[in-house]
Structure 1
C-alpha cells in the first residue's frame, strides 16, 4: 500500500502526527493494494476546522454520556461487539486490501476486537474505587471519574483490535472519543468507526480521516483531555510533547526492539521455529516482533541453519505477505544493506524482488553486531538479525542495552536463567519459552522509547479515569434549647 497526498508528506514515522506544523490545504489519501498496486480508493483529509468541530461535539456529548449508568454503557459495548462480528467478512476484506494482511489473519484481529469490546462491556460496570481507613466518624473513598474527551490514534498493523481496546476502555468509563485511524488504512478505520458509532448516542464516538496534519490538530487541541496512541516511537514523543502543552494525559504504546535470547540446552529446531514466528509473522510488522536474536554459541550453528530453512520455506508465493507500502520496504532494505556493508552476512533473503506489490523476503542475517541499525533500531520487517554470544550473561547484558522497553523473550531449559531474565530485563512484557501468547485481559507498561502507561486489560480503565478522594464527615447541627 502507498499513501499519497497532494500536500507535502509528513516527515516522521507512521505519519500519525506532523511535527512540521499543520498545513490547512485540503489533500486526499490514495490507497494502493500492497500485493498488486491496484487502487483501493481515495479519501479526503479532514482539515483542522473539522478536527475542532469533532472535539467540540465530543465535549458537548460528554456530560450526558458520563451520567449514563455503567451497565447501560456496557450493554452498548456488547451491541457494538455484535455489530462488528456480523460484518467481520467485510472488515477483513478491506483491511487485507489496504495493508496486505491475509484475510484469515485479519479475521483473527477482528475476533480479538470483538472479545475486547465484550471484556470492557463487563469490566466497566465493576471498575471499583477504594475505601480508605479513616476515623470512626467519617468515611473516606477513592472514586474513579471519566477524564473527558479522549483522542485515539491507531496504527495500521492491527487496526481493529487496537481500536477496540482503546475506544472500548474509553467509552466504558464514560469518556467520549474522537478517533483518527492511520492514514495507511483509512478505509478500514472508517468502516470500523461507522459500525461502532452506530451503537452509541450521537457524538459519543466521532471518526476522523486524515494524515499527519489531522493528527497534529487533534493532539494539540486544548479541549482534548487524553491522548491514546499506538504507533512509532518518533511519533509518540512528538505526541507527548504536544499533549503536554495543554496538560492532556498520554497513554502510548510505541516501537520496540524486542530481543530473543536462545540459551544452551534448548532444541535448536524448536528455537528456530519460535524465532521464525517472532520475526516473520505478519511480515515482521508487529509491535512485539523479534527484532534481534542472541544465541548461545553451543547451539548457534544448528539454530541458524534451522532458521534459514524456516525463512526459505516462506518463499512460496502467498505464504509471506507484503509490507504495507513502498516507504516501509525501502526502510527495511536500507537496514539490511547497511548491516551487510558493515560485515553481516545475508544467509537468505536481503533483496528487493521484481514485480508488483511491496513484498520483501524473509531474511536471516548472521555476524551482526550491536552497532548495526538492524540491531539497534526497530526494523519492522521480516528480518532476523543474529548475534552469537558466549554465555547467557552476555546475552542478558546485550538484550538490556537498549533504548526501547516493550518486550523480550528467552528460550531456556533453566528455571534459574528464566528468573534472571525476569529480574534483569527492564521491559513491559517478558515471555519465557514462547514468543507470543498471554492470558486474556493481560496488560503491559512499556518503558522509555516504547511508551508510557498501561495498555489494555483492567489497568487501562485506570488510565482512562482520574481518581477523586472523598472525605465524608458527619455534619454538626445547631443546638436548640
Structure 2
C-alpha cells in the first residue's frame, strides 16, 4: 500500500528526527473500520446526553494534557509554544461546544393528517473517516471528531503524517472516554487516507487538507455514494481601499500573511491595494515584515519551504520585486523569512496558487472595483478580507466575493459558532459550527398512521 513502512518526522527547527511512526497497512485499516462498524450501533443508541458527557470529560483530559500536546506540536510542526497552547485550548473549547450542542440537535414535526404523526428525525450516518491536517492538529480535529461523535457516529481517524504523534495523542485522550471501537486511530501517509476513503463501510469522509487530495477523495466517494466534507486549499485575497490608514492596513496584512509562518487555512495569500495609498502601504508592510522576522517560527518541513521558495522565485523571474526576504534562512531547520513582493501579476504562482508560507505578494490596482474584480477571479473560494471605510463598498464586496467567509476590516476573527461553506476548489460542506451536526447526520422522514381496527 505504501512504499515505506514508517513515518519519520523531523524537528523543523533543527532537522533532527523527533517522531517515528509505523504506517498502517491495508489490513490494519480494514480492521479499524471493522471495529468501528461493530461499535457503531451501540454508540448510536447511547442517549445524546451520555455522548455529550463523554466529550465533556475528554475536553477536561485534553486541558490537563495541554503542555504535553503543545510540546509534541511544537516539535513536529515548529508551531510556537503559545500558539500550540492556544490550539489545545481552542480544541478543548470546541469539544465542550459540541457537547452542549449535541443533545439540542433536533428534527422537526410535520403537519399532516390529524390522525397521523409525521416526523423528520436526524440519525447518525454510521462510520466517519476523519483526515486532519498538521497546521493546527488539535483544534481542527476537535471540530470534526466532536461533531461526528456527539451525533452518534463511530469514527476512524487518521492524523496528518506531518504531526502523527500530536494527532494520535489528542485522539487517544478522546478514545479513553468512549466505548471500545467508537474512535479508532490509524497512522500513515496519503495511501492510508486513500484506503479509508475507498472503504465500502465508511459512510462519510471528512478531510481538511490540500485541494488535490480533496478532489481525489471526492471522486472516490462519488463512485460508491459516500458523503464528503471538504475544507481544502485557499488563495485568500486581501483588498486595501483608499481612505484607510496605510499603517493599520499593513498591520492587518502582515498578521494575515505571516501568523504561524503563513500556515493557516485562511492566511492572506494575495493583496490588492489601490494605487493612491500603495507606496505608503508597501513601506509600512516592509516594516511589519522586518518586525515579524523576530518572532516567526519555521515552516513545517523542507518540502514546504521548497514550495514557498519556488513560488517566490517564480515571481522574481516574472518581474516581481522582492522588497524584503525572499531567500531561505541559513542554518538548520526549515525557516523562511517574512517576504514582501511587489509588481506582482495575476499569472504568477504567488497570485494564483496557495503558497502556504510567510509571503505577502502585492498587486497595485487603479481602484476598488478593479481590486474586487481581480480578487473574485480565482478558482478557490475559502475566504477574503476587505479593508475599507466605505460602507457601500464593503456591502458590495461581501455580496460579490464568491467565497465562504468575508471579513471586513479584520484579517482574523469572528463570533463563536460561525459556519461557512467553502466554494469552488476550496471544498464543500460545513466544516464547523452547529451546521456540522447536520453534515454528520442524515434526515429520516417518518409517517405514522394508525392501523385500522378489526
TM-score (normalised: structure 2)? 0.99
Separation of aligned partners in 2, 1:396 and 1:134: 48
Looking at structure 1, the residues matched to 129 and 353 of structure 2 have their Cα atoms a distance apart, in angstroms, of 28
Shift of 1:194: 1.5
Q: Secondary structure, in 3 states, of the residue corresponding to 2:309?
A: helix
Q: Please give the residue correspondences for 1:79-98 in structure 2 after superposition, counting only pairs within 5 Å.
A: 79-98=57-76
Structure 2 residue 62 is matched with structure 1 residue 65: no
Aligned match of 1:225: 203
In structure 2, C-alpha distance between the alignment counterparts of 1:443 and 1:112, rounded to whole Å: 16
1:48-447 alignment runs, 5 A limit: 48-316=26-294, 319-447=295-423
Spell out, residue by residue over 1:172-192, the C-alpha distance to the aligned partner (whole angstroms, 9 max, x if none). 000000000010001111211
CA contact (8 A) 1:149 1:178 kept: yes
Aligned length, in residue pairs:
454
Q: What does the per-residue CA deviation read over 1:306-346, in whole Å, with 9 as the maximum and x for residues that have no partner?
A: 00000011232xx1100000001001000000101101000
Q: Give ranges in structure 1 of 5+ residues lacking alignment.
A: 1-21
For residues 422-450 of structure 1, give each alpha carbon's deviation from its aligned partner in whole angstroms, at most 9, with x where no partner exists: 11001100000001001111111000100
Helix, strand or coil at the partner of 1:240: helix
Structure 1 residue 135 displacement after superposition: 2.5
CA RMSD of aligned residues (A): 0.9
What is the CA distance between 1:26 and its match in structure 2?
Answer: 5.4
Moved over 4 A (4+): none
> Which of 427, 432, 439 is equivalent to 1:456?
432
Which whole-Å CA distance do the structure 2 matches of 1:315 and 1:410 have between them? 25
Q: Which residue of 2 aligns with 1:16?
A: none
Distance 1:331 1:26 in 2: 23
Report the secondary structure of 1:457's partner residue: coil
In the alignment, the residues of structure 2 paired with residue 111 and residue 375 of structure 1 have an alpha-carbon distance, to the nearest angstrom, of: 34
Instruction: Choose the corresponding residue for 2:444, options 439, 454, 468.
Output: 468
Tell me how far apart the structure 2 counterparts of residues 324 and 63 of structure 1 sit (CA, whole Å): 39
Residues 128-171 of structure 1: CA distance to partner in whole angstroms, max 9, x if unpaired?
10122223232221110000000000000001011100000000
Q: Secondary structure at the match of 1:60?
A: helix
Q: Give the conservation status (yes or no) of the 8 Å contact 2:19–2:76.
A: no
CA distance in 1 between partners of 2:398 and 2:118 (Å): 37
Contact 1:342 1:372 in 2 (8 A): yes
| Cα displacement (A) at 1:245 | 2.1
Using the alignment, how far apart are the partners of 1:41 and 1:445 within structure 2?
34
TM-score (normalizing by structure 1): 0.93
User: Matches of 1:375 and 1:459 in 2, distance apart?
Assistant: 32
Once the two structures are TM-superposed, the CA of residue 473 in structure 1 deviates from its matched residue by 1.9
Q: 2:113 and 2:364 mapped to 1: Cα distance?
A: 62
- Residues 406 and 447 of structure 1 are in contact (CA less than 8 Å); yes or no, is this contact kept in structure 2? yes
Q: Is the 8 A contact 1:26 1:47 kept in 2?
A: no
Deviations 1:167-220 (A, max 9, x none): 000000000000000100011112112111101010100111111221111111
Partners of 1:442 and 1:315 in 2: how far apart? Answer: 32
Contact preservation (8 Å) 2:175, 2:183? yes
CA contact (8 A) 1:26 1:46 kept: no
How many Å separate the matches in 1 of 2:254 and 2:4? 43
Task: Tell me, in whole angstroms, the C-alpha distance in 2 between the residues paired with 1:137 and 1:351.
Answer: 75
Determine if contact 2:323/2:342 at 8 Å carries over to the other structure.
yes
